[in-house]
Structure 1
């Protein structure tokens, strides 16, 4: 398993990026300013993008695992890589995600705790309804962990 920083041609990974954020114009808001990593295990299995939000806060803007490899530990491996890579450089790692029974428990298992909520984020910022686990996402839940 190898973690690679992607500096050029980030658009080549749009299929993976769209798994975590299904509206391309939203991805373009952070794609170039963010640092992108891919997890390669006999081929790219997952990706993530992190951004410096100031005040010693690192934010995971996008993290996705190819559907056929979900549940195999690649997402957790990416989180652990980020923790190791950025501990001592940032104080807090945060992530904003839909209030979903799929994603919130994943981050909690990775040591994140709920921080705050942005009501109506998905209905206010996306041009179509976003569904996860059969439920329409409305609010953005922020989770944080110390680094």
Structure 2
């Protein structure tokens, strides 16, 4: 799919090449390793070839797919590229899945972004970041503790 100044490509090989950007959304490489090879990696590029954003979607059960990682390069943040990627992915997966879910930290900035994209809070996994990460993750001055799952009907 092409936007006026971008193109989104499915990346089948060399996924680890995108690790620096993936780490913006998920700070621990061992956690990314749990889903990167199992998931579909998409990369958004500008007309000049610059890498703008990446996202990983994994296959779920019962008609649910999961957006595991969405990261926008810092110089492109707050310009609508994240929303463009989410819209692309929802459209891409709507024929095979009924629901897309995403898990994110208990940060109002990130939760607000997904809510603005049409997601609603589904459930919370208490202490996820404390149990599963080897270091404290701070976002917007707040230590992430719980994983908040949001979902959106796409199909």
TM exceeds 0.5?
A: yes
Structure 1's unaligned 5+ residue stretches are none
CA–CA distance in 2 between the matches of 1:142 and 1:67?
A: 24
Question: Runs of at least 4 residues of structure 1 off by over 3 A?
Answer: none
Listed as ranges, the matches of 1:96-135 within 5 Å are 96-135=103-142
Partner of residue 50, structure 1: 57
Question: 1:91 pairs with 98, 101, 106, which one?
Answer: 98
The total of aligned residue pairs comes to 147
Listed as ranges, the matches of 1:17-96 within 5 Å are 17-41=22-46, 42=48, 43-96=50-103
Residue 119 of structure 1 deviates from its aligned partner by: 0.1
Residue 110 of structure 1 deviates from its aligned partner by: 0.1
3-state SS in 2 of match to 1:102: helix
TM-score, normalised on structure 2? Answer: 0.93
Structure 2's unaligned 5+ residue stretches are 1-5
What's the C-alpha RMSD, in Å, of the aligned pairs? 0.6
Kept after mapping to 2: 8 A contact 1:17/1:63: yes
Kept after mapping to 2: 8 A contact 1:47/1:63: yes
CA–CA distance in 2 between the matches of 1:63 and 1:19?
A: 9
1:74-116 Cα deviation digits (max 9, x unpaired) = 1000000001111121000000000102100000000000000
Residue 60 of structure 1 deviates from its aligned partner by: 0.4
Deviates more, 1:9-18 or 1:38-47: 38-47
TM-score, normalised on structure 1? Answer: 0.98
